[in-house]
Amino acid sequence: MSTIKATKWEAMQFVRRKEIIEVSDLVEEFGYSPQVAHNKIIRLEKAGLLEKLGVRRGAFILSTKAHSKLEYHERTERSD
């Protein structure tokens, strides 16, 4: 399996499709090592784009901020 360097947008779109993600989901989807996937999640969380899902340990969902950014990005992309 080869590694794909996902952009922030690609990672957020993946989370939106999946709804709930864990480190293993990024490992499987993008071929990251568990450490790289964990770091990606932490960076997105610190940026306010992911939120911990309280029910499941290590599970994350998109934040309201991320949904807004994705919608804006998609609208502006279509108008180009």
Position 42 in a domain: yes
Position 2 in a domain: no
- Identify any residues that bridge with 62 across adjacent strands, giving them in sequence order: 50
The pLDDT, as a whole number, for residue 54 is: 81
User: Sign of dihedral through CA atoms 7, 10, 19, 37?
Assistant: negative
Position 1 in a domain: no
Position 28 in a domain: yes
- Total domains, the chain: 1
> What pLDDT, in 10s, does the model give residues 16-52?
999 999 999 999 999 999 999 999 999 999 999 999 9
pTM here?
A: 0.82
Query: Residue 63 maps to which CATH number?
Result: 1.10.10.10
Provide φ and ψ at 66, rounded to 5°: -65, -40
Write out the residue range of the structural domain in which residue 56 sits: 8-79
Confidence of residue 80 (pLDDT cuts 50, 70, 90): low
Residue 31 CA to residue 77 CA, distance in Å, equals: 27
Q: Are 7 and 77 in contact (CB under 8 A)?
A: no
Angle between helices 34-46 and 23-30 (to 10 degrees): 120
